[in-house]
């Protein structure tokens, strides 16, 4: 059974979608079958992988609200070992449509049961909020990666996210763990990035990933071409940073893959 990891932070502009796309692509590049699930109504992960959301007939919206089998909504991407369960703008109304459903917080968990057996990793790109869609994601996940940008007010609002994770753990998903805190948008030219990194490590201690995502032009350009950084420019610093993150996550979960021939990669 594969591991489900949510990428979550209700604060926008922290590199959440960039992390979802490039972590998933990096895991796939190491030949771990990976599914990226776009549960953000903005559909940036979907477009960032070269799929126009307006052309999508079956998306996570139809899965969660319309009862469509999740396996029918999965699409292949340009990268071997990487599939996508796309989003659509219709998802913006999903929380209202789900409000009267029984076990509304577990709709996604139930929908992806079959998918967990097909992939080593399922990466969920959560919306920048702590609403019902994010609650569904956390309830369906084994762990959560929290991107934190190396800028002023980096820790602002994280208390609310941590409290939400605590509530989900208490009432919906006792096994939910923090996979790690990821430092993003690190600028080697400024002292501020070092100061923020130190502050985050002081707060989260050993839960901070060793891999750091540096500011990188190629990484920022890649989504406009509908590609992860690995396909857009595999030699870029951004692509290498996310490969390092993928390897770190695989190593942290090495017991899952002790019999896998690709773990040696």
pLDDT for 254: 84
Contact 95, 131 (CB under 8 A): yes
Q: What is the spatial distance between Cα 80 and Cα 29, in angstroms, rounded to a whole number? A: 8
Q: What is the spatial distance between Cα 43 and Cα 193, in angstroms, rounded to a whole number? A: 29
Residue 29: strand, helix, or coil:
helix
CA 4 from centre of chain: 9
Backbone angles phi, psi at 190, to 5 degrees: -120, 145
Q: Which residues of the chain have pLDDT under 50?
A: 261-265
pTM above 0.75, yes or no: yes
Length of the chain: 265
pLDDT for 239: 96
Helices 132-140 and 158-171: angle between axes, nearest 10 degrees: 60
**Strands across the sheet with 208-214, in order?**
75-76, 82-85, 34-38, 121-125, 3-7, 143-149, 177-186, 208-214
pLDDT for 257: 64
For 158, residues 6+ apart whose C-beta sits below 8 A from its C-beta are 9, 11, 146, 148
pLDDT for 260: 53
CA 242 from centre of chain: 12
Tokens of 121: 């990793």
Give the Å distances, CA to CA, from 256 to 35, 111, 118, 120, 143.
17, 23, 14, 9, 14
Tokens of 64: 């969660």
Query: Running DSSP on this structure, what letter comes out for residue 90?
Result: G
Q: Which residues pair with 148 in a beta bridge?
A: 183
Contact 128, 16 (CB under 8 A): yes
| pLDDT tens digit sequence for 151-195 | 888 788 888 999 999 999 999 999 999 999 999 999 888 888 999
């Amino acid at each position: 059974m594969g591991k489900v990891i949510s990428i979550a932070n209700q604060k926008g502009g922290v590199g959440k979608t960039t992390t979802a796309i490039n972590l998933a692509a990096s895991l796939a590049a190491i030949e771990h079958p990976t599914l990226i699930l776009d549960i953000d109504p903005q559909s940036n992960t979907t477009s960032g992988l070269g799929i126009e959301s307006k052309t999508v007939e079956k998306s996570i919206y139809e899965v969660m609200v319309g009862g469509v089998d999740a396996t029918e909504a999965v699409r292949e991407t340009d990268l071997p070992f990487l599939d996508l369960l796309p989003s659509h703008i219709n998802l913006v109304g999903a929380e209202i449509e789900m409000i009267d459903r029984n076990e509304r917080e577990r709709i996604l968990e139930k929908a992806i049961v079959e998918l967990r057996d097909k992939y080593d990793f399922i990466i969920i790109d959560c919306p920048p909020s702590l609403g019902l869609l994010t609650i569904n994601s956390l309830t369906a996940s084994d762990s959560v990666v929290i991107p934190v940008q190396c800028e002023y007010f980096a820790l602002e609002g994280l208390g609310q996210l941590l409290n939400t994770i605590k509530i989900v753990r208490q009432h919906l998903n006792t096994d939910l763990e923090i996979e790690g805190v990821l430092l993003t948008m690190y600028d080697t030219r400024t002292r501020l990035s070092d100061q923020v990194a130190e502050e985050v490590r002081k707060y989260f201690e050993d839960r901070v990933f060793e891999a750091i995502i540096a500011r990188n032009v190629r990484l920022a350009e890649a989504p406009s071409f509908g590609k992860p950084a690995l396909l857009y420019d595999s030699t870029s610093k951004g692509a290498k940073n996310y490969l390092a993150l993928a390897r770190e996550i695989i190593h942290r979960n090495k017991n899952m893959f002790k019999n896998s021939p690709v773990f040696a990669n």
